[in-house]
Amino acid sequence: MNKSALQIERSKYAPKMPKALVGAVQLEEGKATDSVADQQEIKELFPNTYGMPLVTFVEGGANETGPTFNVGVILSGGQAPGGHNVIAGLFDGLTKLNPANKLYGFLGGPSGLVDHKYIELTSEFIEDYRNTGGFDIIGSGRTKLEDSKQYDKGAEICNQLGIKALVIIGGDDSNTNACVLAEYYAQNNKGVQVIGCPKTIDGDLKNEMIEASFGFDTACKVYSELIGNIMRDANSAKKYWHFIKLMGRSASHIGLECALQTKPNFCLISEEVEEKKQTLQQIVNELVDIIVKRSQNGETFGVALIPEGLVEFIPEMKVLISELNTLLAEGHETAIEFQSFQSSTEKRYFIIRKLSEASSKVYASLPEGIARQLTLDRDPHGNVQVSRIETERLLIEMVENRLAELVPSGIKVKFSAQNHFFGYEGRCAAPSNFDADYCYSLGFVASLLIGSGKTGYMSSIRNTTAPAAEWIPGGVPITMMMNMERRHGHMKPVIQKALVRLDGAPFKAFAAERENWAIHTSYVYPGPIQYWGPSTVCDAPTKTLQLEKA
């Protein structure tokens, strides 16, 4: 493996761990749990894994070698910094329980389990991946584990390899599926436990017991570094407005965290847009007001942050997208007719005729490129892929149009814009100390949950704003995080997604300052992630976490 100088030094880093995990460990059971909502339905759907107690690991017990067993691990969904350390922590925990325990990695995500594609993860193999970013140790994928044939194929390979437990490292959907799988294996006496680990840069898998999903810390620090660099450029050249779209499929946690770190002139929070029922034009007008005011102060530059999922939170766009999803669903007669048109203009007018009156107005008002993107890009479930919609360009174009409209009334502003999209730049970055430590402990705890015979639990580390030695390791029944939601026309038990709370401390801190940041340039330049140096620089958790736990 070719390694950079940083990688060579960084591979020697020993993740900081909670004191409770260093020596002999014992399990303490807490209170029985209930799901966050829809208790009766969830209880009926998960008779074996509902109501289980919270567990905490504390110092104590005997340091004895336990029985031998094997474990399988799966990386699911989008990459997030720290995944390799979850695997390293899991491996070290398993071999501490018994040096003969083996860890298998299923290749390419959940499909590796179903298709029986795996490798054994030995100590030598894992060595090269410690404290590195990426999921390339075994690869990841987005195959959903959701039917019993897949589950049975999974059990088959587990039985063949002597695997007594699976660890699924994923976001809310993958952990929902992990919970269903745990229940299925328990109900059918398959002898396979299932443990989940909270992963996603989006930061939307968190709740009372899960303080953060891993990867959010590093990804936000990388984006904030880049935003800071751009801010400094903007403030030096004083000639561009930079429109920066930030990844995060649905929730705006990434945008909010980056705003708290860098203090931009404008940052949209999708959840607020939805709450205020703002139209696209209202958003543009608000932004134009800021551009005009700054220009009147001689500041013909600025930085605006835009969350990736924005279009789906603007009520009029949400309706439009859902109408388009129906009209363009595979096999739908409108979709077939739509495809028969050659020119994009014909296609555009055809769609305008087929939409409801309100949606056709919205669609007609969109710049041609965006309108085309909305009709072309569908994911395998028939949904628009928001990461492919160039919202940042859409806003630039609409701002230009609005500024042109203002000219006759005497408002003339110099406006030149650059657009950016930060997403993939941060998903595989070398994990920050926070993520390296947090992930290692999450993996280590997963091994303890397995050793204690638990299934249907998510590995949890709490008290994460304190030094790592004081972190509280434990397990949370996944059913505790569930409620019933409509998905693709059916009511399903799912983990509640954590959107930005407008009554939460991070949003309030941002809202209290944003008007000032809009007009008075207040940029903060966070610089690159530091792996060595003062703890205030190297170990600080996200502002979001600090404010939530204050």
Site of interaction with ligand FBP (CB under 6 A)? 77-78, 80, 171, 200-202, 247-249, 308, 387, 427
The CA-atom distances, in angstroms, between 285 and each of 153, 281, 490 are 55, 6, 39
As a whole number of Å, the CA-based R_g of the chain is 25
Q: Measured from the CB atom, is 92 or 308 closer to ligand FBP? A: 308
Single-letter code of the amino acid located at 107: L
Do residues 420 and 242 make contact, with C-beta atoms less than 8 angstroms apart? yes
d(CA 49, CA 80): 28
Q: Whole-number minimum distance, CB 140 to ligand FBP, in Å?
A: 8
Give the number of other Cβ atoms within 10 Å of residue 123's Cβ: 12
CB of 124 to ligand FBP, least distance (A): 29
- Shortest spacing between CB 437 and ligand FBP, in angstroms: 20
What 3-state DSSP class applies to 508?
A: helix
Q: How far apart are CA 325 and CA 312, in angstroms?
A: 12
Select from 247, 213, 172 the least CA-distant residue to 81: 213
167 SS3 class: strand
CB nearer to ligand FBP: pick between 202 and 211: 202
Q: Which amino acid is at 19?
A: K
**CB closer to ligand FBP, 263 vs 378:** 378
Nearer to ligand FBP, 92 or 173 (CB): 173
Q: Which is nearer to ligand FBP, 423 or 451 (CB)?
A: 423
379 is catalytic: no
Residue placing its CB nearer to ligand FBP in the complex, 213 or 300: 213
Min CB(446)–ligand FBP separation in Å: 18
Dist. CA 120–CA 134, nearest whole Å: 19
| Least distance in angstroms from the C-beta of 345 to ligand FBP | 30
Residue 394 to residues 2, 223, 301, 371: CA-CA distances in angstroms? 41, 21, 18, 10
- Smallest separation, CB 246 to ligand FBP (Å): 9
Closest residue by Cα to residue 384 from 448, 316, 324, 472: 324
> Per the structure block, which two tokens stand in for 255?
């945008």
Tell me the two tokens of residue 175.
């952990």
Write out the H or E segment, with its range, that includes residue 474. strand 472-477
Question: 262: which residues sit within 8 A by CB, 6+ positions away?
Answer: 224, 227, 228, 231, 303, 523, 524, 525, 526
On the CB side of 482, CA atoms within 13 Å amount to 34
Output the smallest distance, CB 79 to ligand FBP, in A: 7
Kindly report the length of the chain: 550
Q: Which residues of 205-330 form beta strands (DSSP E)?
A: 241-246, 266-267, 302-307
Out of 173, 202, 204, 437, the active site residue is 202
Residue number with CB closer to ligand FBP (296 or 385): 385
**What is the rounded end-to-end Cα distance, in angstroms, of the chain?**
43
Rounded to 5 degrees, φ, ψ at 399 are -65, -45
Please say which residue, 10 or 249, places its beta carbon nearer to ligand FBP: 249
Select from 316, 341, 315 the least CA-distant residue to 328.
341
Q: Tell me how crowded residue 373 is: count the other CB atoms within 10 A of its CB.
A: 20
Which residues on adjacent β-strands are paired with residue 378? 384
Output 201 or 458, the one with its CB closest to ligand FBP.
201
**Tokens 């708290």 belong to residue:** 260
Least Cβ distance, residue 309 to ligand FBP (angstroms): 8
- What is the closest distance, in whole angstroms, from the C-beta atom of residue 267 to ligand FBP in the complex? 17
Residue from 479, 500, 428, 435 nearest 461 by CA = 435
CB of 47 to ligand FBP, least distance (A): 29
Query: What is d(CA 421, CA 432) in angstroms, rounded to the nearest whole number?
Result: 22
Give which of 130, 56, 96, 54 is closest to 456, Cα–Cα: 54
In this complex, which beta carbon is closest to ligand FBP, that of residue 325 or of residue 401? 325
Catalytic residues: 202
